[in-house]
Amino acid sequence: MAIAKHEIEQKLDKSLQNMKLADLNNWFDSRFDEKMQEREENHTPSLSIVVTKGTLDMAYPPFILASTAAALGWKVDLFFTFYGLELLKKNLDGLTVSPLGNPAMPMKMPFGPEWFKGINWNIPNAVMGNVPGFESVATGLMKKTVKSKGVASVQELRDACIESEVKLVACQMTVDLFGFQTSDFIPEVADWIGAASFLPVAQKSDVGLFI
């Protein structure tokens, strides 16, 4: 009888221990879910973009994405390198469209009757590359299309990024390579750094893009 009583007590103790462990696990799981949800709610999304192109058409993607992300409350860093440095110049009027080698160019005509504007002008590269002033024509058409559609200019988008505290950084190696001076660029450039300094920033970003 004493043995049976001892066995019952052992089983009860074991059951209590299992219950305590189960309660502890449930509490831990619940607290972990709460903390993860709290962390997610307090987390500020971040975006890093490497900007390598300096043509008029390729100026739009980084500035549109950056200004939109900043408007949503994201932390945004833009790293301008090689030809992308053109987008940090004080004067953006010299930006052009380069249709040569671009299968999506030239664009449809931004003027005339609807049937005329609907034509796809598939002009061979040989023609685009040999017709004098073709790049200027393509640039003019691009600017006219942007204006007629009510799209903000590159200057306006860059200003929006600056107002939204998007961090604009320039590649010091490229500045040295091309013989630029810091005075060639807008004063809002936050820093002059190399890839080794930017990569840790990009590594911690939620979204990283190369344009």
Give residue 49's pLDDT: 97
Q: Which helix (DSSP H) or strand (DSSP E) does residue 23 occupy?
A: helix 2-42
Give residue 173's pLDDT: 95
pLDDT in tens, 15-51: 656 666 666 667 667 766 776 676 666 789 999 999 9
Give residue 195's pLDDT: 93
- pTM for the model stands at 0.74
- Contact in structure between 79 and 169 (CB atoms under 8 Å): yes
Give residue 9's pLDDT: 62
Mean pLDDT, each 10-residue run in order, the chain (211 residues): 59 62 67 69 89 93 96 96 96 82 65 70 62 73 81 94 96 95 94 95 95 93
- Contact in structure between 107 and 144 (CB atoms under 8 Å): no
Helix axes 56-71, 134-148, angle to 10 degrees: 30
Length of the chain: 211
Other residues' Cβ atoms within 10 Å of the Cβ of residue 102: 15
